[in-house]
Amino acid sequence: MMNLRKTLAFSLLVALLFSFSACRSADEEVISDTQYDLLDTVCSISIYGMPEEDANKILKGAFALCRDYENILSRTVKGSDIYNVNHSNGEFVEITENTYELLQKSLYYAQLSEGKFDVTVGKLAELWDFQADKPKVPEQEKIENALVNIDYRNIELKEENGLYFARLLNTAVAIDLGGIAKGYIADKVTKYIEDQGASHALVNLGGNVVAIGTKSDGKPWNIGIEKPFTERKDIVGYVEVADATVVTSGIYERAFEQDGVLYHHILDVATGYPADTDVESVSIVASKGYSVDADALSSICLLLGSEKGLALIEQMEGFEADIILKSGEIITTKNMNLKEYK
């Protein structure tokens, strides 16, 4: 059985590309590639207005960079920084500067969300195992045992003589960066693409979208916001962006049904179960370079619920939110210019 997360991510990708292509001029050169075995999702990159040979070279390097980051940030890849920290028995482990930077960012958002966003959720995530062919609800006792130790304050970082280190103060916990790593990688890949000379491009790492520059004709990109749980992947609206990121988290992603109940992948560390709020999906819009922040914030808003989530984004400069409620209502921050899709 194809991984449900991949199926849904691909549907989102199709919706996004439809929105893009509908607004692309006929003579606009585009070179694209899609990878299905990276970051446990579907990753697509499109480069516009460049010779094919140059664009393909950039695409190859960008996907290789995705793989490199996956190999240091993944909880499950043996020998990765995160794997090594999780298996270090409380001892400091040397990590890359990138991992150090991302862990710092993770701790910031853990504090901002008062622990709702907590990357020491690794043991709980392992129990739920949403990547399995046939995921199932874990035993209650195992959930309770995993919950006892979750606490981001168990992560200790240090920098010494230009080297970076991390350890876990409680060896019963494990780090999982699934709620923030794609955004971080999207930012790094974006910088790489620009450094290689591309001025007009789209990066989509499983719903973490970055629009580099404008379209070749100088007009903004149109990024569609998907309506959850629609077979045709309808779009509720779109945003016009340039040099910006749009990140969506939703309960329709990476989910399974058991005994008539839908279980999604965004786990509430207070209960050990998927977050049960009034929100179906959250899309965060921010400037290019802030996909890592938008990634974390989209999950945080879903975990907090619409009222607290919207209030949080309203007080953060440079971020806008579109929140789709289970009731079907759509609410947005004051400056979120969501346009109707016709």
Cβ-contact 146, 267 below 8 angstroms: no
Which residues make Cβ contacts (< 8 Å) with residue 302, sequence separation at least 6?
A: 249, 250, 251, 266, 275, 277, 279, 281, 282, 309
Which pLDDT belongs to residue 28? 63
Which pLDDT belongs to residue 26? 44
What residues in the chain have per-residue pLDDT under 70? 1-28, 231-232, 342
Domains annotated on the chain, with CATH:
4-72+179-332 (3.10.520.10), 75-168 (1.10.3980.10)
Work out the mean pLDDT of the chain and round it to a whole number: 91
Which residues make Cβ contacts (< 8 Å) with residue 39, sequence separation at least 6?
A: 66, 70, 181, 182, 185, 205, 206
Which pLDDT belongs to residue 11? 40
Which pLDDT belongs to residue 228? 85
Cβ-contact 186, 210 below 8 angstroms: yes
Q: What digits encode the pLDDT tens for the residues 77-122?
A: 999 999 999 999 999 999 999 999 999 999 999 999 999 999 999 9
Long-range contacts of range 88-94, CB-CB < 8 Å, 24 or more positions apart?
88/167, 88/168, 89/171, 90/167, 90/168, 90/169, 90/170, 90/171, 91/167, 92/156, 92/158, 92/165, 92/166, 92/167, 93/165, 93/166, 93/167, 94/163, 94/164, 94/165
Which pLDDT belongs to residue 175? 98
Which pLDDT belongs to residue 342? 66
Helix (H) or strand (E) holding 285: strand 279-287
Q: Tell me the whole-structure pTM to 2 decimals.
A: 0.91
Q: What digits encode the pLDDT tens for the residues 20-50?
A: 443 444 456 899 999 999 998 999 999 999 9
- DSSP letters for 42-105: EEEEEEESS-HHHHHHHHHHHHHHHHHHHHHH-SSSTTSHHHHHHTSTT--EEE-HHHHHHHHH
* Pairing, β 319-325 against β 30-38: unpaired
Cβ-contact 23, 217 below 8 angstroms: no
Which pLDDT belongs to residue 148? 94
